[in-house]
Structure 1
Amino acid sequence: VISSFKIADIGTVDLDTIGTVEAGGMTVEVIDPVADYAELMESLFDFDALRALFKSGFRMRFDAMHAVTGPYAKEILENRLGAPNGTARNFIPLPDFGGHHPDPNLVHAKHLYDEMMGPDAPDFGAASDGDGDRNLIIGKGIFVTPSDSVAMLAANAHLAPGYKAGLKGIARSMPTSGAADRVAEKLGIGIYETPTGWKFFGNLLDADMATICGEESAGTGSNHVREKDGLWAVLLWLNILAARGESAKQIVTEHWAAYGRNYYSRHDYEEVETD
């Protein structure tokens, strides 16, 4: 409960200039969130291996859907990892998301799906939503369901430097398939099924009981920020692809062979009456 607040007239603070200024007896620090996030990702993932992956001719499409992840994806994928210009598409955030609904699913990102299923498909495709917390993963010729994705990320997380010590546990929401359960069993770590809602994952992350969390609605994240993070999931997939030297389709099919396959389908009803 906020019981009181105070207002101070400190004049104008230049929010376009990175740095620290004194204003009204306070220290105001202006940061570049894109740079800070990129540095955090570099501490978790093998950026040298990812640079080598793109240098080898690896092709990727990331659709930011004119939403918040655009500048972050552009900076990391193209500027820092050396992916070709155009790898990050629709990367300029727009108030109306370019007139489209920024939902990374097979309806609203059908153009990406169609490209990934085409004869000249890139090696890897991904997208993120309006606020950047959910993700879409598509390999050349194969769509990875969110339930499978969280299981495969957990099974291979040790290939990324930030997770090489292993996971504390895996958490999934109740509607999410049990694919992650068998990964946790094989790794000898906890598996936690929660009600729908990221707040339940937050409790497990705070208690250091889970490292990776995921839900069938395509939200995936870890203890690096305690929240869903769509671009993080994409970068972990890239790290896995680079470390294993295999395609997304190979990784998916080998995972099914090792752990079994959950057949899972989510049905969204769009533009229907609510009564």
Structure 2
Amino acid sequence: MRRIKFGTDGWRGIIADDFTFENVRVVSQAVADYINDRNMAHRGIVVGYDNRFLSDRFADTVADVMIQNGIKVYLSGGPLPTPVTAFAVKVHDAAGAVMLTASHNPPEYNGFKFIPDYAGPALPHITRAIEENVMRLQDVGGVRVLNQEAAVELAFKPGHTGAPAPAAHATKPHIAERIIIDPRPEYFEHLEQLVDMEAIGRANMEVMVDAMHGSGMGYLDVLLKKARARVKECRCSRDPLFGGSMPEPTGKSLAGVCRWIQEEEGRLGLALDGDADRFGIIDAGGVYITPNQFLPLLYHHLITVKGLVGPVTRTVATSHMLDRIARKHGQAVYETPVGFKYIGQNLMEKDCVLGGEESGGLSIKGHIPEKDGILAGLLAAEMVAVHGKSLADLAEEVARQYGGKLYSERLDVRTTPKQKQQVLEKLQELRPAELAGVPVAERVDLDGLKLVLAGGEWVLVRPSGTEPLFRIYVETGQPERIEQIRRDLMEMVGLQ
């Protein structure tokens, strides 16, 4: 049997190849064992799913395994975005959640994500514990299949490490049950407390919402209409094939939104990926706003308009414009490896007011420590409404206040497996005194290799965890230097 491995954000695989009902049962049992070993079964578990092929059936399979292990299940009554599934953990004070989604991956994929009781991505030590359970179960072929009476007996057996100890006053154990939930009302109420809905209404904006056929339909569009914005809906219907493409909100995939804004003179286009945890933004004039451009604007807005003054946390691949803003306001910057789990940890532990990544994930203080594209879209609408200008114009204003524009680019470079290993060895030893004619001021090996140059330019090389591929990120205040910095770095490590 092929080994099941958890990646940056859970386990993903091709449906009917490795993402099968048998394997979903194995991973569900591994999660059930994790919950029972920590005496949390009595709190129950939320199970959510997206619009992908068979996601609802996989969710039923997860629920069955949990119930057979004495764990109450709060099962979504329909497709849910990942951030809403995470929020439901807080609503029900659950031991965690399982979300069936492959996010922005191609249609043939599905995935299994465990969200612990703090309602954010699982940290590495949690993932490792579940993976160890998976390996043990794969070795012995042991997925527990019990009837209700046996599940109750297991859960309340004295001394059993996989069950809560019954309370002293308990007279009869409760049988694990399946409860159908709809967390939308509580989630909507919560977002309305974080976003200035009245400002959005006063602006009389016309906005296009593109759900990309994902589980985010019926969220951002509904909330904007409630705020009295005029909303045009795009791809807000279920299609497990996502129109034949990947449900990833990039400039290229949002061409239809760009055309609508150009032709109809709309103010804003807001898009969500397949499970609505990532955002895409199209500005007035049909201009795509990258996450690296949007995050600094949001941080500036949070500080100067919403009064949320505090540290910021970002990944190694995310714009240092955030650092400039933080410095000017006397705040700390916490840099993390790539993966929102690290951002979420800093939101919880470092009192950060914003956490973000260049791949399109963010959350803010007062929200759950999970990336949320719905919240991001509402905040973008609030910013346009409050400032009375396009995001591009706001970016010009912010750049003037914080030291000038920064330009960011990413390039993916494919290699052979042999070449990948050679490059990795060179990266470990690489300590250049200068790059592209400028002294190297800092060497960061938090995730890949990042060289920060005197004056603030930087370049990052990160290997893919699953493919013979490297991602090269460059940021500079002089766009004509992007190619030179990238080329010189590639020559040093043998990627030419």
Same fold per superposition (TM over 0.5) = yes
- Give the direction of change, closer, same or farther, for the CA distance of 1:119–1:26 in structure 2 (3 Å limit): closer
- What aligned pairs does 1:4-15 form with structure 2 within 5 A after superposition? 7=68
Describe the shift of the 1:33–1:91 C-alpha distance in structure 2 as closer, same or farther (beyond 3 A). farther
| Equivalent position of 2:409 in the other structure | 265
Q: Distance in 1 between matches of 2:374 and 2:177?
A: 31
Q: Please give the alpha-carbon distance, in whole angstroms, between the structure 1 residues aligned to 2:388 and 2:260.
A: 22
Aligned pairs for 1:92-241 within 5 A: 92-116=237-261, 118-141=262-285, 142-158=287-303, 164-223=306-365, 224-241=367-384
The question of 1:255 aligning with 2:316 is answered no
Q: After superposing the two structures, state which structure 1 stretch, 86-95 or 180-189, moved more.
A: 86-95
Which of 32, 35, 38 pairs up with 2:185?
35
Work out the CA distance in 2 between the residues paired with 1:107 and 1:234: 18
Q: What is the CA deviation profile of residues 182-231 of structure 1, one whole-angstrom value per residue up to 9, with x for unaligned ones?
A: 11111211111111111211221121331211111111222401011111
TM-score by length of 1: 0.81
* 1:153 positional shift: 0.2
Per residue, is there more strand in 1 or in 2? 2
Q: Deviations over 1:105-133 (max 9, x none)?
A: 012222223444x2533111121101111
Q: CA deviation at 1:14?
A: 10
SS in 1 for 2:264: coil
Aligned equivalents of 2:279, 2:358: Cα separation in 1: 11
Shift of residue 68, structure 1, vs aligned partner: 1.5
Helix, strand or coil: the match of 1:87? strand
The answer as to whether partners of 2:270 and 2:282 remain within 8 angstroms in 1 is: yes
SS of the aligned residue for 1:193 comes to strand
Encode CA deviations 1:116-167: one digit per residue, 9 max, x unaligned. Answer: 4x2533111121101111111121133322112111101001466xxx3423
The equivalent residue for 1:77 is 224
Judging changes above 3 Å, is the alpha-carbon distance between structure 1 residues 14 and 196 closer, same or farther for their aligned structure 2 residues? closer
Change (3 A) 1:46 1:27: farther
Q: Identify the residue that residue 245 of structure 1 maps to in structure 2.
A: 388
RMSD between aligned residues: 3.1
Query: Distance in 1 between the 2:304 and 2:176 partners?
Result: 44
How many residues are aligned here? Answer: 257
For the 8 Å contact 1:71–1:92, the answer to whether it is kept is no
- Measured after TM superposition, the shift of residue 171 of structure 1 is 1.0
Q: 1:247 Cα deviation (Å)?
A: 2.2
In the alignment, the residues of structure 2 paired with residue 14 and residue 126 of structure 1 have an alpha-carbon distance, to the nearest angstrom, of 29
SS of aligned partner of 2:408: coil
Q: 1:220 to 1:6 in 2, by over 3 A?
A: closer
CA gap 1:130/1:25 in 2 versus in 1, 3 angstroms: same
Output the amino acid matched with 2:199.
A
Structure 1: give runs of 5+ residues left out of the alignment.
none
Q: Distance in 2 between matches of 1:119 and 1:74?
A: 21
Would you say 1:64 and 2:211 are equivalent positions? yes
The question of 1:46 aligning with 2:196 is answered yes
Of all paired residues, the percent bearing the same amino acid is 29
* 1:98, distance to aligned residue in structure 2 (A): 3.3
Amino acid at match of 2:371: K
**Residues 73, 91 of structure 1: 8 Å contact kept:** no
Do the aligned partners of residues 94 and 258 (structure 1) sit closer, same or farther apart at CA in structure 2, a change above 3 Å counting? same
Asked if structure 2 preserves the Cα contact closer than 8 Å seen for 1:204 and 1:210, the reply is yes
User: Post-superposition, which runs of at least 4 consecutive aligned residues in structure 1 deviate over 6 A?
Assistant: none
The Cα shift of 1:27 comes to: 8.3
- Alpha-carbon separation, structure 2, partners of 1:151 and 1:52: 25
Q: What letter is aligned with 1:131? A: D
Structure of larger gyration radius: 2
